[in-house]
Structure 1
Amino acid sequence: MSRGDRAARLLYAWEDREVAPRDTAAVPFARLQALVDHVWAAEGLRFPPRVRPLPRQARGTVARASRLAIEAPPALPSWVLLHELAHAMTSTAEGASAGHGPVFVGMYLGLLARHARMDPEALAASLRADGIPFDPTARPVFLG
């Protein structure tokens, strides 16, 4: 999760305002893989990404993910882990990614509702108010 393109910046501002205040729990690195495995299985998926340490040189990055791996610091807010899981679910092993587009945001919204128990209608309304497009029918891209 780096602070890159315009869609990402809009989404990060929305997260800082709407998501972070509702979920202040931090997960220690030693527990991240168990949480990744749990969410992945709860979503009906097999073969979850592996959690590994975020390289020290990734100074401007909070965390990052691909279909195969999630790189994280010594502790990570649980909502950031869900953000990274949404990236893993909207990426392929070959490297194709939905970025921070509507499929990603829709997947992330569903994860926040199901695993952080946030109100999906309130989140959707705030996304619309901020002009952030999302696909409410989003599902993992590698399922076809």
Structure 2
Amino acid sequence: MSRADAAARRLYAWEDRVVAPRDTSLVPFAQLQALVDHVWAAEGLRFPPRVRPLPRQARRTVARATRLAIEAPSALPSWILLHELAHAMTSTAEGESAGHGPAFVGLYLHLLVRHARMLEEALAASLRAAGIPFDPAARPVFLG
């Protein structure tokens, strides 16, 4: 297992334990683009990624994102959409990505606090307890 895989697994376990129980909302595919556009604009960004259907052959993938697109199933929990938006914000149009590293986790934490109304102190403490590093000053990579 690579270091990146271990970081992703640790983050996914943290999400299952800490984030998912705090946000049980489910967003239908038809509403995802509007939510993406809203969050993107609220963060002061232009040109949000486009939402498109997740390919049928992606059986083990819940959703995935690049700077330009978010692929999603017929419905998606809003916290997973925020996770994918953090990936879009930490990726470039050229395909470079921060993976699940500190910049990604820092932006994801910010999105959870601002858009899912979760308590920053509690999330940050649980990330530290889980040994997941995060950058509280992280910004979208394409802003420079």
| Coarse TM-score class (shorter-chain normalised) | over 0.9
Aligned residues: 141
Counterpart of 1:129, as a letter, is: A
**C-alpha distance after superposition, 1:81-137 (max 9, x if no partner):** 000000000000000000000000000000000000000110000000000000000
For 2:25 and 2:118, locate their aligned partners in 1 and report how far apart those are by CA, in whole Å.
14
Instruction: Name structure 2 gaps, 5 residues minimum.
Output: none
For 2:34 and 2:130, locate their aligned partners in 1 and report how far apart those are by CA, in whole Å.
34
**Match in the other structure for 1:9:** 9
For 2:54 and 2:6, locate their aligned partners in 1 and report how far apart those are by CA, in whole Å.
24
For 2:13 and 2:21, locate their aligned partners in 1 and report how far apart those are by CA, in whole Å.
12
**Match in the other structure for 1:116:** 116
**Match in the other structure for 1:48:** 48
**What does 1:86-105 correspond to in 2, within 5 Å?**
86-105=86-105
Deviation at 1:69, TM superposition (A): 0.0
For 1:76 and 1:99, locate their aligned partners in 2 and report how far apart those are by CA, in whole Å.
21
Counterpart of 2:53, as a letter, is: P
For 2:28 and 2:117, locate their aligned partners in 1 and report how far apart those are by CA, in whole Å.
20
**Match in the other structure for 1:69:** 69
**Match in the other structure for 1:23:** 23
For 1:7 and 1:141, locate their aligned partners in 2 and report how far apart those are by CA, in whole Å.
20
Deviation at 1:52, TM superposition (A): 0.1
For 2:125 and 2:66, locate their aligned partners in 1 and report how far apart those are by CA, in whole Å.
28
For 2:98 and 2:142, locate their aligned partners in 1 and report how far apart those are by CA, in whole Å.
11
TM-score after normalising by structure 1: 0.97
TM-score after normalising by structure 2: 0.97
Counterpart of 1:32, as a letter, is: L
Deviation at 1:20, TM superposition (A): 0.2
For 1:5 and 1:73, locate their aligned partners in 2 and report how far apart those are by CA, in whole Å.
23
Identity of aligned residues (%): 86
Moved over 2 A (4+): none
Deviation at 1:31, TM superposition (A): 0.1
SS of residue matched to 1:70: strand
**What does 1:29-40 correspond to in 2, within 5 Å?**
29-40=29-40
SS of residue matched to 2:55: coil
**C-alpha distance after superposition, 1:45-76 (max 9, x if no partner):** 00000000000000110000000000000000
RMSD: 0.7
Instruction: Name structure 1 gaps, 5 residues minimum.
Output: none
